[in-house]
Structure 1
Amino acid sequence: MPFAFGGPAGKGRIRAEPADFVVTEELSFALKGEGEHLFLRLRETGCNTAWVAGQLARWAGRPRHDVGYAGLKDRHAVTEQWFSVLCPGGRHPDPAALMIEGVELLEWRSHDRKLKRGALRGNTFRLRVTGLEADPGLLEPRLRAIATRGVPNAFGPQRFGREQGNLRLAERWFSGELRPRRDERGFALSAARSLIFNAVLAARISAGSWETAAAGDPVQLDGSGSWFIAEAGDDALPARLAALDVHPTGPLWGQGEPPGHGPGAELERVVAARFPLFAAGLAAHGLEQERRSLRLRVAELAWRTEDDVLELSFSLPAGAFATAVLRELLDVD
């Protein structure tokens, strides 16, 4: 993936300890306070989301599939996230007695539906970079540029799995070498889609068009999954793009051709043709063509430096990766 701003402005270390990487998620809906699903907001230190979900299932005496969460969080962090547990009739163990190593219960409420994947408004990050080596004359302008222009909305390396295991799984699945378990298939499909999207994004960065859109290109409203086709003669579009009101988009690959008829659509077809096994496999498994913003607004970006430490805070929409922000700022270990 090329850099949109010319490369890192320095280097440092992230996650020297879990408290250096704090993530707080915000649900996209209000809890009703009644229903058979017990919602628990937990603070986890050094815990894997799937592992915590298994512990909750054991605590409640329920099957694992009765536990829901909106997104996977990194184990090497302090995270605040919601889980739901189906408790028929509203009968459940006392939440105040919940004891899981590395987990603190912050609050609980009832709701009438299970927590689904992706049901987030977004996440807030508080990061601490130690061992900072950066020229303030480069770092400060870079931070201001990111606050004003956003960053390329790349999928982070965690999407591809440890040593790209999710991508390798997709390759073996699509080639007929194996049939993955049901709980593995979603990871494989997401990794294949992310590979093609990142490749398109890389091409747009190299061409200097990751922030722009031409007539015929699909354009997405900021903070929304809604998109429309840019029309010729839309004099307001450049100003809306500059204000981060709308963003150019890239493909989440699936059946059929990408929408639009502008130069972006032709580029997407050319890039996808470089990955015939993945493009065909995604279509064969019934995924539809969808869109994702090529650009990511970094909201409420604030920073403070002291000695060799940089503290950052910002908010990102659901599905975005903090690594997309960090890679444009610093080379982090």
Structure 2
Amino acid sequence: MDWAYWYGKPVSTAKFKQVLSDFKVVEDIGFSPSGEGEHIFLLIEKTQLNTAYVAEQLAAFTGLPLRNISYAGRKDKFSISTQWFGVHCPGKKSFAWDEFDLKGVVIKSVSRHDKKLKTGALKRNAFTIVLRDVSDISAVQQRLDNIATGGVPNYFGSQRFGEVRYLDEAGQQCTKFGGNLTLAENLYNGKGIKNRNKRSVAISALRSWLFNTYISEKIRQETFATVTSGDVCILSGSNSFFTADKADASIQQRLVDRDIVLSAPMWGAGELAANDDAAVFEQTLAAHYPEITNCLVDLGLKQERRAIHLWPENLVHRVIDTQHIEVSFGLPKGCFATSILREVVQFTTNDATDHCAVNQLPE
């Protein structure tokens, strides 16, 4: 799974997550609670706690079933994370939240809303990340400047596959594969997965792997930032898309201006939205992995599209000293901080990419 780099393999090395404050993330749900209703929204800052555990403790404190506790997205345990939890209280029951005593949790605000907080009800996540023992600060700064202008491939992060990247004693980058892809192999080999959560993880890993393969191949073929005939273009900031009838200068300029972004298939049943040259590319690559595509169809998934290009919002960096740098940026929901970091540095510890999930997946 050596996905292609947009700017070439990074030359600088660094360490990540040496201390909890090296990784901070703040959720933005994109709206303000209404102030009334039978749903209580809690904005919680948690430190070294996983999301599911906090939800369990909220259920125990309120005496409500765990199903009454919700959250917009899961956040990493080894971090300082500020995120939203929802508590469904039929009858508008109140609680003394100042008495909720859980080490590592600070309740920042309490408000009511008339609708449930649903998983995925996020607009963006804001990250503040510290890279330590950076071998070449100037190279990192140059990469960050390039990314601010040119974005990065919108890869699914390595943690979705249970994958960890690290440098061995000889300085060579190595990959250690985890259990998610092993579970995925069970799916397309016809072995059932009884645990619902593990099954969901396996399906996500399988579909995401194929999507990443599309991005990587487009980079290798030098079509990652070029419209080809029949490409499916997503309107920036929306879920709407259209198929480019021809690759002319006007549509290419819209891509350069970030008015549109190219997409690749999230595989499932149904016809590809692409046609002409783009459809040939997508069908040809899919034909190399029939066991995966057939499995995803058999699982009942439908053809969808996902943007292949990602631009971080408000990307800034601050040099702390000659070996440490702080990086801040925002990402839309469903995107991964590791998509940014993998283009910046190679990590010298094997835990660097194991903790950056932003949404949806178990910690």
Shorter-chain TM band:
over 0.9
- 1:29-178 matches, cutoff 5 A: 29-134=31-136, 136=138, 138-161=139-162, 163-178=177-192
Q: Distance in 1 between matches of 2:112 and 2:336?
A: 30
Deviation at 1:78, TM superposition (A): 0.9
Residue aligning to 2:232: 218
Deviation at 1:135, TM superposition (A): 5.2
Is 1:200 the counterpart of 2:182? The answer is no
Which aligned segments of 4 or more residues in structure 1 are displaced greater than 6 angstroms? none
Deviation at 1:276, TM superposition (A): 2.6
Residue aligning to 1:324: 339
Segments of structure 1 that go 5 or more residues without pairing to the other structure are: none
> Kindly tell me: are residues 54 and 278 of structure 1, through their superposed partners in 2, closer, same or farther at Cα, counting changes over 3 Å?
farther
| Contact 2:229–2:278 under 8 Å retained in 1 | no
| Contact 1:59–1:98 under 8 Å retained in 2 | yes
Deviation at 1:293, TM superposition (A): 0.5
What letter corresponds to residue 288 of structure 2 in structure 1? R
2:30 to 6, 28, 31: 28
Q: Distance in 1 between matches of 2:286 and 2:154?
A: 18
What letter corresponds to residue 330 of structure 1 in structure 2? V
Q: Distance in 2 between matches of 1:93 and 1:330?
A: 46
- 1:283-322 matches, cutoff 5 A: 283-305=297-319, 306-322=321-337
Corresponding residue pairs, total? 332
Q: Distance in 2 between matches of 1:56 and 1:276?
A: 45
| Contact 1:126–1:312 under 8 Å retained in 2 | yes
What letter corresponds to residue 35 of structure 1 in structure 2? G
* Secondary structure, aligned partner of 2:101: coil
**Alignment root-mean-square deviation, CA:** 1.8
Is 1:246 the counterpart of 2:247? The answer is no
Q: Distance in 1 between matches of 2:67 and 2:303?
A: 28
> Kindly tell me: are residues 170 and 66 of structure 1, through their superposed partners in 2, closer, same or farther at Cα, counting changes over 3 Å?
farther
Instruction: Report Cα offsets for 1:58-82 as digits up to 9, x if no partner.
Output: 2222222222112221111111110
* Secondary structure, aligned partner of 1:12: strand
| Contact 2:128–2:326 under 8 Å retained in 1 | yes
Q: Distance in 2 between matches of 1:79 and 1:38?
A: 19
Instruction: Report Cα offsets for 1:212-269 as digits up to 9, x if no partner.
Output: 2222111112222221112326542222211222111011111123211043322222
> Kindly tell me: are residues 7 and 179 of structure 1, through their superposed partners in 2, closer, same or farther at Cα, counting changes over 3 Å?
closer
* Secondary structure, aligned partner of 1:219: strand
Moved more, 170-179 or 24-33: 170-179
1:269 to 269, 276, 283: 283
Q: Give the alignment's TM-score, normalised by structure 1.
A: 0.94
Moved more, 30-39 or 273-282: 273-282
Q: Give the alignment's TM-score, normalised by structure 2.
A: 0.86
User: Which structure dedicates a bigger proportion of its chain to helix?
Assistant: 1
What letter corresponds to residue 153 of structure 1 in structure 2? N
What letter corresponds to residue 124 of structure 1 in structure 2? A
- 1:7-18 matches, cutoff 5 A: 7-18=9-20
Q: Distance in 1 between matches of 2:238 and 2:178?
A: 29
What letter corresponds to residue 24 of structure 1 in structure 2? V
| Contact 1:247–1:295 under 8 Å retained in 2 | yes
Moved more, 93-102 or 38-47: 93-102
Q: Distance in 2 between matches of 1:276 and 1:96?
A: 56
Deviation at 1:308, TM superposition (A): 0.7
| Contact 2:47–2:79 under 8 Å retained in 1 | yes
Q: Distance in 2 between matches of 1:265 and 1:96?
A: 57
> Kindly tell me: are residues 210 and 182 of structure 1, through their superposed partners in 2, closer, same or farther at Cα, counting changes over 3 Å?
same
What letter corresponds to residue 319 of structure 1 in structure 2? G
What letter corresponds to residue 201 of structure 2 in structure 1? F
* Secondary structure, aligned partner of 1:107: strand
* Secondary structure, aligned partner of 2:75: coil
> Kindly tell me: are residues 254 and 28 of structure 1, through their superposed partners in 2, closer, same or farther at Cα, counting changes over 3 Å?
farther
Residue aligning to 2:357: none
> Kindly tell me: are residues 233 and 287 of structure 1, through their superposed partners in 2, closer, same or farther at Cα, counting changes over 3 Å?
closer
Deviation at 1:282, TM superposition (A): 1.7
| Contact 2:261–2:308 under 8 Å retained in 1 | yes
| Contact 1:129–1:311 under 8 Å retained in 2 | yes
Percent identity of equivalent pairs: 38
> Kindly tell me: are residues 180 and 169 of structure 1, through their superposed partners in 2, closer, same or farther at Cα, counting changes over 3 Å?
farther
Segments of structure 2 that go 5 or more residues without pairing to the other structure are: 164-176, 350-363
* Secondary structure, aligned partner of 2:133: strand
> Kindly tell me: are residues 62 and 269 of structure 1, through their superposed partners in 2, closer, same or farther at Cα, counting changes over 3 Å?
farther
